[in-house]
Structure 1
Amino acid sequence: MRGSIFFLVGLVLAMFCAACTSDSSGHGQAMQAQAYPVKTMSPETVELQDVFPALLKGKEDIDIKPRVDGFIEAVYVDEGAKVKKGQALFKINSPSTVKALEEARANYSTAKIDVERMRPLAEKNIISKVKLETYENAFAAAKAALEQAEANMTWITVTSPVEGVLGTISYRLGSLVDNSNVLTTVANTTTVMAYFSMNEKDLYDFMLEWKGETKAEKIKNMPDVKFRLSNGREYEEPGRIETISGVVDKTTGAVSFRAAFPNKNGLLLSGTSGKILIPKVISNALVIPQKATFSQQDKIMIYKVLGDSVMQDVVKVKSTPDGRSYVVFDGLESGDKIVTDGIATLSNGKKIKVQ
């Protein structure tokens, strides 16, 4: 009986020791440091882009309005058509203009007859020269009115003042129009203007980047700019900044810029929007992958390697054009080491192995 008891006690002790050994071994494996990829910061040259929303307009965007009142009798063009300077676009049936011409002709004939009738009388001193001058002045006024009425008749045909592309046609056959109505718009888009703006702070920082004593000299030294279409693709032709407004908008607190882009193929359309991309080359920049960062309370954080453990730190960054990396402006120095991947499994003070 006693032997059986000793046997059972020994069996229990053996099982307990085995469990302890197993727990100790598992715990040791859990405490073993995990390997992570690490990058050592070193300066490099990188190009960033300042991005600003922009609106496109043609070099000339001209509203086409009739100069006489009446009904649209003919439409000679269609929307989106290319038109030449002086090309007929619309014809206006203008009864008031026709009536004005008829009245002007009648007044001219009457005034002419009066002068021809009074001149011999003035030569014979039957009437005074002052009286004759009155008739002559009336004749001159009637002649001028006739010339104006004849000129008005040429306005019944509405022509394009420039070469360009036709916009939407707002009025069709039979529509009653006057000089307050915009029939369509002609946009000269051989060169397209991109309008964008900066706030005061960005403007001063931006202007300090470029050489030159005057604004004109700085504009001359600015690099070519790019335009990103609304579908995300970049327009193939580079543009140039041409003007910077000298007045801050009181409502928005912004300063307007204008950049010009060649548009030989007509891809850029007046009235469309996109983004202006202004390149900025930075030397001695520290670049980190975006996957090495995480957000915490609107701050960008990284894990800095200190010996065999990691420590959270805040960095100030700006995204690179490819959207995969950040340029660090504060929070890291050359020679610092950071974990570049797997940061979701890290915590402050955790021990790691450098992979």
Structure 2
Amino acid sequence: MVSKQEVLEYGAKLAKARAKLQLSEAKLNFATVRAPFDGIIDRLYEQQGSLVQQGDTLTALSDNSVMWVYFNVPEARYLDYMAKLGPGQNDHQDYETRIQAFLSELNRQTRIELVLANGSTFLHAGKITTIEAKFNNQTGNVAFRADFPNPNRLLRHGQTGNILLKQTLHNALVIPVRATFQILDKRYVYVIGEDRTVHQREVVVQNELDDLFVITSGLGVNDKIVLDGVQQVRDGDEVEGFEFREPAAVLEHQKYHAE
């Protein structure tokens, strides 16, 4: 037989033991470091058995499942982008809505690729998500941010590379760079008339590639231009014995594809 008093005493002892267990578990939790997210651990600043204090750094953990890649956009190109937004209503909410709509449209029309330091192209395409708030007045650029999924954890923080923005331009007029010449900040070509006389004509370049210019004005699809030897030609010269080359034959030897 066990008296009621003994049951209460043993119950109190059990409660005390449970409290000690909870206290020990709480102290043990203080000695266990758990990461708040999955990632890659940097160097260990402290080793097992080291005496540490509150505020000491044990290591650094990087979440590189999605990588933020910052790249610079020249001010003129930024202004061209912003002009596509329209005037709006001059309020913050309207601006944010238009910016997000613009970025969505830019991502829809453009494939954002990352070229790594060894020249290879990263397997996954990115999306432009952010435009920084201010310009770098020393370089005249503003930073854009593109987010790249990184499922294989190939990319690490601090890596470098180049961003490629690939767009397909429909019904675009393109000419080789070597067919143009520059006077101050303007670009010109020599157009061959029906009387075989060449005339200097200014052209407006929309996009510049390595060996191609995308022309927005100044030329028509039926115009014939001097392709090679533009430095040897003068306005008003009459050309004889020239060879006409089909546009497809010229463009097939260029670095970028056009048809």
Q: Name the TM-score class by shorter chain.
A: 0.5 to 0.7
Q: Partners in 1 of 2:229 and 2:135 — Cα distance?
A: 49
In structure 1, the partner of 2:255 is: none
Gaps of 5+ in 2: 1-18, 87-93, 244-259
Of Structure 1 and Structure 2, which has the larger fraction of its residues in strand? 1
Preserved CA contact (<8 Å) 2:135 2:142: no
CA displacement at 1:287 relative to structure 2 = 0.7
State yes or no: 1:308 paired with 2:196.
Answer: yes
User: For residue 134 of structure 2, what is the aligned residue in structure 1?
Assistant: 249
Separation in 1 of the partners of 2:67 and 2:83? 27
**What is the correspondence of 1:227-306 to structure 2 with a 5 Å cutoff?**
227-244=114-131, 248-249=133-134, 257-306=144-193
Instruction: Say if 2:110 is the partner of 1:215.
Output: no
Equivalent residue runs for 1:86-97 within 5 Å: none
Q: How does 1:161-240 map to 2 (within 5 A)?
A: 161-169=36-44, 182-196=57-71, 198=73, 202-203=77-78, 205-206=80-81, 209=84, 214-221=98-105, 222-223=107-108, 224-240=111-127
Aligned to 1:38: none
Larger radius of gyration: 1
Deviation track 1:100-136 (CA, whole Å, cap 9, x = no partner) reads xxxxxxxxxxxxxxxxxxxxxxxxxxxxxxxxxxxxx
Note closer, same or farther for the CA distance 1:150–1:265 as it changes in structure 2 (3 Å cut): closer
The aligned length equals 206
Deviations 1:17-36 (A, max 9, x none): xxxxxxxxxxxxxxxxxxxx
Taking the aligned partners of 1:346 and 1:188, their CA distance within structure 2 comes to: 60
Shift of 1:302: 2.4
SS in 2 for 1:205: helix
Aligned residue in 1 for 2:248: none
TM-score (norm 1): 0.46
Moved more, 263-272 or 250-259: 250-259
Cα distance in structure 1, aligned partners of 2:185 and 2:57: 49
Show the 5 A alignment for 1:28-177: 154-156=29-31, 158-169=33-44
Give the distance between the partners of 2:141 and 2:151, measured in 1 at CA. Answer: 31
Cα offset, 1:339, TM superposition: 0.8
- Contact 2:85 2:98 survives alignment (8 Å): no
Match of 2:208 among 314, 319, 328: 319
Q: Is the 8 A contact 2:187 2:202 kept in 1?
A: yes
**How far apart are residue 289 of structure 1 and its match?**
0.9
For 1:220, the aligned partner's letter is S
1:205 to 1:189, Cα distance in 2 relative to 1, 3 A: same
% identical aligned pairs: 32
Distance 1:260 1:274 in 2: 14
Tell me how far apart the structure 2 counterparts of residues 242 and 218 of structure 1 sit (CA, whole Å): 10
CA gap of 1:206–1:220, structure 2 versus 1, over 3 A, is same
Q: 1:262 to 1:291 in 2, by over 3 A?
A: same
CA RMSD of aligned residues (A): 4.0
Q: Report SS of the residue matched to 1:334.
A: coil
1:230: Cα distance to partner? Answer: 3.4
3-state SS of 2:236 partner: coil
CA distance in 1 between partners of 2:234 and 2:56 (Å)? 68
| Equivalent position SS for 2:216 | strand
Q: Which amino acid aligns with 1:205?
A: D
More helix as a share of residues: 1
Aligned partners of 2:54 and 2:187: how far apart in 1? Answer: 58
Structure with more relative contact order (C-alpha pairs < 8 Å, separation 6 or more): 1
- Paired AA for residue 104 in structure 2: K
CA distance 1:237–1:309, change in 2 (3 Å)? same
